Amino acid sequence: MPLPDDFARALADRYGKRFSTAEAVRAHHGHDESHFPDALPDAVVWPHATAEVVDIVRLCHRHRVPLIPFGAGSSLEGHILATRGGLSMDLSEMNRIVALHAEDMDAVVHPGVTRKALNAALHGSGLFFPIDPGADASLGGMASTRASGTNAVRYGTMRDNVLGLEVVLADGRVIRTGGRARKSSAGYDLTRLFVGAEGTLGVITELTVRLHPLPEAISSATCAFPDVASAVRTVIQTIQLGVPVARIELLDALTVKAVNRYSKTTLREAPMLFFEFHGSPTGVEEQARSVQELARDNGGQDFEWATRQEDRTRLWQARHEVLHASINLLPGCKAISTDVCVPISRLAEAIAGTQDDIAASGLIAPIVGHVGDGNFHVVILTEPDNPAQVHAAEALGRRIVERALRLDGTCTGEHGIGIGKQDFLLAEHGDGVAVMRSLKATLDPLNLMNPGKIFAAAGD
Amino acid sequence: MPLPDDFARALADRYGKRFSTAEAVRAHHGHDESHFPDALPDAVVWPHATAEVVDIVRLCHRHRVPLIPFGAGSSLEGHILATRGGLSMDLSEMNRIVALHAEDMDAVVHPGVTRKALNAALHGSGLFFPIDPGADASLGGMASTRASGTNAVRYGTMRDNVLGLEVVLADGRVIRTGGRARKSSAGYDLTRLFVGAEGTLGVITELTVRLHPLPEAISSATCAFPDVASAVRTVIQTIQLGVPVARIELLDALTVKAVNRYSKTTLREAPMLFFEFHGSPTGVEEQARSVQELARDNGGQDFEWATRQEDRTRLWQARHEVLHASINLLPGCKAISTDVCVPISRLAEAIAGTQDDIAASGLIAPIVGHVGDGNFHVVILTEPDNPAQVHAAEALGRRIVERALRLDGTCTGEHGIGIGKQDFLLAEHGDGVAVMRSLKATLDPLNLMNPGKIFAAAGD
């Protein structure tokens, strides 16, 4: 369904070059990092201020045009695909850091600010923002998918690090969901309602986020293990011992191989844990000693320290490139990235079962994970024109999620539901999904805000 | 309005002695620890299982009877007062610990389990549950008010420590809002919607809560300061330095006097900070050293260590008795407990202004606070039959909240809105309250779940 003429004309009049229906622009906005087919919006608009977002949302409301908030386009479950057409609202030019309150360790930012841009702005302040999904995602997008990353085991996820939001609702009303106090018992937690709502309840136009003091000392290490099970046992024991590790990441042998090839590292091609410790110099040393002992007890070898800043940067850069490194294992392939999270005591079982499934599938599928949270990903690679492989990959992905649910886990630790996991959401939350639907119908009765994502809305 | 005959008969038939309309029972359930006048329910029922809660909720729904979930009756904003009559549902006998997962550091509990009962059950497990409001509140009640306490600066509030809930909705549907995974991006965050909803959206019938490893070493200390401002400066610097203190509590001189008198302690009657440090032996020592230096720089004196377990217990017991100790300063008085929270950089200003207001009011009003979060309470005492004093106390309470809001803070850090702070909620959240109201109307269209709390519902 094309856009109504007067709608498109109004946007063109008001936003000039910041409104586009060009094919290339639409293609860029109808494509994310998931394996789902592209779905192009009918047009794209770049607002620069909340008042413009309000204006555009009201136009969409009046003309019944679906609206899809777009950040960096790095989502992994098809969140920004325009499966029902409509207008893509690209928030990347709403990218001002509105305020830095170093003394309160918070920042007020526009939704288009990326995590790297925020950290660059914090340079010299003694503070940092820890949430780090692989991509340089926008903070609005990260809030919308309740993103996390390698630091979540110590610093939490977007759920924990957003203090408050400004949101434009489907009817154009603007609300603020929280102030800068560290805690509040004032009414319903609207902040947490919009964090993770994947743009289906409104457009986030400002975020107040928590910052953290840069640790006095940091050290990173890698350790190779004879098998994934030994590595996982080390992780479980570390968490249960209460060691406040900042990062504890698992890479299976295939992932390490992919990383060596893509990021030019020379890691031993065995299952590995990457660690990072934050604290005072003695605290860091103490944590590292505890973990090193646990690793040794579990057969860990080659505990190697990355003490220099540049070595650490290289190591974590390589870790963040894992998705691209994995895809690079099979040139021209499509990648399906799974994202389950289980209670830590079930992690060994979840991963062992997954390894068996991968072996049985015959597919190339490296495993990597934020294992301190019980969260791991399998990057399943398929040749693009091999329907049997795609079929096998989908079956493998399903088995991994079904096992996680049987083990009291969740179908997504950090990527979100998007269009890819709606059946699993139902399996996981049952009648809770009906409640989610009723909240959606209340706040977006015309089903215009990123429609078709998370669940089929009432009346769909 | 009396209860419909057939409603009361049905409950009496089904619940026998677990249903009561006796005056003394109703009086107990129409009274909390706030200063608001008692408001008795028409009857009380004690369910023992989720199925019974569903049955009772359905009866209330059919007969249009208001339902008020009741835990320990220790709330401070009138949450459990039956201002519109109806049925009080006392959940204290739904008090089973359903499961302890030591290896995953979580517990599944019924809503009537109190924080002390949970910690007693954890004895010997190496784990503890940190959230500690003054009273031995029920966990269902604590979730409903988004409670916190002295440990929140390190361990977070109920918002952070509830992994998932089972909730009976107003129409009798039962939903589970989350599993046991540490993090999830699966759909809207229903857990956080019910945490802090004060029983207005449903009845919590089960909670999965996070537990924490008992620290290897603990040390507590007190330090006296020449004035409140010096103590507050020490707090601000401690937080900004990133010292992971477990507790950092302020007592003004009057509070210390009250504590000495009530809890038979012999603390110097000056503004004081109570500290607790958790960690490894060297970590604790390091933290303590950092804080001791900051305190000394700010004129702190008499840094005294409570190293023995019994001294520590005594100290924190005394801290938890502050409300009762304060009330005891003016025998027979009524106490209004204020509860603001501001960004840490504004704490000195907030407290200094509050001290001026107290002095101008001529009232007895000790100050105490979880100052590491920017949260503090003033316990304003009034003679019961002195309307001028009550008037002055209310005016003082208002000034304290208005200042907190001007300083980017919140009208309640941990007590909730109840019936006492609805105007402030509007001042703080504006149109957000309309959104809250619409969520309430969606989930409880007949306005039967704890009606009249947090805000006037649609149609009120």
Do both A29 and A131 map to the same domain? no
Q: What is the pTM of this model?
A: 0.97
* Within a domain: A433: no
Please state, in angstroms and rounded to a whole number, the distance separating the CA atoms of residues B378 and B252. 10
Interface residue B343 vs chain A (CB under 8 A): yes
* Within a domain: B428: yes
Q: Quickly tell me which residue has 């200003």 as its tokens.
A: B349
Give the pLDDT band (50/70/90) at residue A382.
Answer: very high
Please state, in angstroms and rounded to a whole number, the distance separating the CA atoms of residues A381 and A399. 16
Confirm if B179 and A409 have CB atoms less than 8 A apart: yes
Interface residue A196 vs chain B (CB under 8 A): yes
Do both A274 and A319 map to the same domain? yes
pLDDT value of position B1: 66
Do both B345 and B399 map to the same domain? yes
Q: Taking the CB of residue A108, how many other CB atoms lie within 10 A of it?
A: 18
Domain termination residue (choose one: A166, A193, A213): A213
Domain termination residue (choose one: A406, A434, A452): A406
What CATH code is carried by the domain that includes residue A365? Answer: 3.30.70.2740
pLDDT value of position A367: 97
| Burial bucket for residue A391 (CB in 10 Å: 0-12, 13-18, 19+) | exposed
Give the pLDDT band (50/70/90) at residue B214.
Answer: very high
Do both A208 and A170 map to the same domain? yes
Please state, in angstroms and rounded to a whole number, the distance separating the CA atoms of residues B341 and B347. 8
Mean pLDDT of the region A264-269: 94
Give the pLDDT band (50/70/90) at residue B307.
Answer: confident
Q: How many residues belong to chain A?
A: 460
Mean pLDDT of the region A352-360: 97
Residue A113: pLDDT over 90? yes
Instruction: Of A171, A353, A205, A328, give the one whose Cα is nearest residue A263.
Output: A328
Beta pairing partners, B106: B101, B210
Residue A294: pLDDT over 70? yes
* Angle ∠(B84,B88,B91) on CA atoms, nearest 5: 150
Interface residue B101 vs chain A (CB under 8 A): yes
Residue A117: pLDDT over 80? yes
Looking at chain B, the number of H-run helices and the number of E-run strands are: 17, 19
* Within a domain: A432: no
Give the pLDDT band (50/70/90) at residue A306.
Answer: confident
Distance of CA A325 to the CA centre of its chain: 18
pLDDT value of position B435: 98
Looking at chain A, the number of H-run helices and the number of E-run strands are: 17, 19
Residue numbers in B near A180 (CB within 8 A): 343, 408-409
Confirm if B287 and B245 have CB atoms less than 8 A apart: yes
Name the token pair of A431. 């009648």
Dihedral pair phi/psi, residue B335, rounded to 5°: -120, 135
Confirm if B41 and B51 have CB atoms less than 8 A apart: no
Residue A400: pLDDT over 80? yes
**DSSP class of residue B35?**
S
Q: How far is CA B256 from CA A436, B76, B134, B320, in A?
A: 48, 22, 16, 12
Give the pLDDT band (50/70/90) at residue B459.
Answer: low
Strand-strand pairing, A212-213 and A127-128: antiparallel
Q: How far is CA A309 from CA A65, A219, A259, B379, B444, in A?
A: 49, 9, 19, 51, 55
pLDDT value of position A453: 98
Residue numbers in B near A434 (CB within 8 A): 173
Query: Lowest-confidence range among A85-94, B181-190, B275-284?
Result: B275-284
Split into its structural domains, chain A has a count of 4
Do both A161 and A77 map to the same domain? no
Residue B371: pLDDT over 90? yes
Mean pLDDT for chain A overall:
96
Please state, in angstroms and rounded to a whole number, the distance separating the CA atoms of residues A286 and A272. 21
Angle, helices B347-361 vs B228-240, to 10°: value is 160
Q: Quote the percentage of chain A above a pLDDT of 70.
A: 99
* Within a domain: B179: yes
Domain termination residue (choose one: B213, B238, B267): B213
Instruction: Of A4, A66, A60, A56, give the one whose Cα is nearest residue A29.
Output: A66
B 156-175: CB under 8 A from A: 156-157, 159-160, 169, 173-175
* Within a domain: B454: no
A 390-409: CB under 8 A from B: 408-409
Is B410–A181 a contact, with Cβ atoms under 8 angstroms apart?
yes
Interface residue A151 vs chain B (CB under 8 A): no
Mean pLDDT of the region A90-96: 98
Mean pLDDT of the region B225-229: 95
| Run of H or E residues at B334 | strand B334-337
Please state, in angstroms and rounded to a whole number, the distance separating the CA atoms of residues B126 and A217. 28
Could you read off the pLDDT of B90-121 as tens digits, one per residue?
999 999 999 999 999 999 999 999 999 999 99
pLDDT value of position A302: 83
Confirm if B131 and B151 have CB atoms less than 8 A apart: yes
List the single residue in B with minimal CA-CA distance to A188. B197
Q: Residue A107: which domain range? A: 97-213
Amino acid at A356: D
Please state, in angstroms and rounded to a whole number, the distance separating the CA atoms of residues B245 and B114. 25
Strand-strand pairing, B127-128 and B97-101: unpaired
List the single residue in B with minimal CA-CA distance to A165. B432
B 210-229: CB under 8 A from A: 212-213, 215-216
Could you read off the pLDDT of A186-243 as tens digits, one per residue?
999 999 999 999 999 999 999 999 999 999 999 999 999 999 999 999 999 999 888 9
Name the token pair of A304. 């190697």
Q: Quickly tell me which residue has 């009550």 as its tokens.
A: B390
Instruction: Of B243, B180, B184, B185, give the one whose Cα is nearest residue B211.
Output: B180
Dihedral pair phi/psi, residue A302, rounded to 5°: 55, 50
Could you tell me if the ipTM is greater than 0.90?
yes
Please state, in angstroms and rounded to a whole number, the distance separating the CA atoms of residues A35 and B232. 53
**Exposure letters B194-222 (e unless 16+ CB within 10 A, then b):** bbbbbbbbbbbbbbbbbbbbebeebbbbb
Do both B336 and B414 map to the same domain? yes
Please state, in angstroms and rounded to a whole number, the distance separating the CA atoms of residues A15 and B87. 57
Residue A420 region by backbone torsions, left for phi larger than 0, else alpha for psi between -120 and 50, else beta? alpha
* Angle ∠(A324,A326,A330) on CA atoms, nearest 5: 105
Do both B236 and B182 map to the same domain? no
Mean pLDDT of the region B216-230: 95
Name the token pair of A87. 């207008």
* Within a domain: A275: yes
pLDDT value of position B385: 87
pLDDT value of position B308: 86
* Within a domain: B455: no
Q: Taking the CB of residue B394, how many other CB atoms lie within 10 A of it?
A: 14
What CATH code is carried by the domain that includes residue B12? Answer: 3.30.43.10
pLDDT value of position B128: 97
Instruction: Give the highest mean pLDDT range of A318-322, B333-337, B357-361.
Output: B357-361
Give the pLDDT band (50/70/90) at residue A459.
Answer: low
List the single residue in A with minimal CA-CA distance to B169. A435
Residue B286 region by backbone torsions, left for phi larger than 0, else alpha for psi between -120 and 50, else beta? alpha
pLDDT value of position A57: 98
Please state, in angstroms and rounded to a whole number, the distance separating the CA atoms of residues A421 and A414. 12
Do both A309 and A355 map to the same domain? no
Cite the beta strand spans of A162-243 per DSSP E.
Answer: 162-168, 174-176, 203-210, 212-213, 217-224
Do both A206 and A101 map to the same domain? yes
pLDDT value of position B302: 83
Mean pLDDT of the region B248-256: 97
Do both A108 and A208 map to the same domain? yes
Do both A357 and A288 map to the same domain? no
* Within a domain: B65: yes
Could you read off the pLDDT of B383-408 as tens digits, one per residue?
988 999 999 999 999 999 999 999 99
Could you read off the pLDDT of B230-250 as tens digits, one per residue?
999 999 999 988 899 999 999
Do both A360 and A382 map to the same domain? yes
Distance of CA B336 to the CA centre of its chain: 15
Name the token pair of B249. 């509590």
Interface residue B181 vs chain A (CB under 8 A): yes
The closest CB to that of B345, out of A103, A240, A374, belongs to: A103
Q: Quote the percentage of chain B above a pLDDT of 70.
A: 99
Cite the beta strand spans of B153-293 per DSSP E.
Answer: 162-168, 174-176, 203-210, 212-213, 217-224, 247-251, 272-279
Residues 6+ apart with CB under 8 A from B38: B27, B30, B31, B81
What CATH code is carried by the domain that includes residue B185? Answer: 3.30.465.10
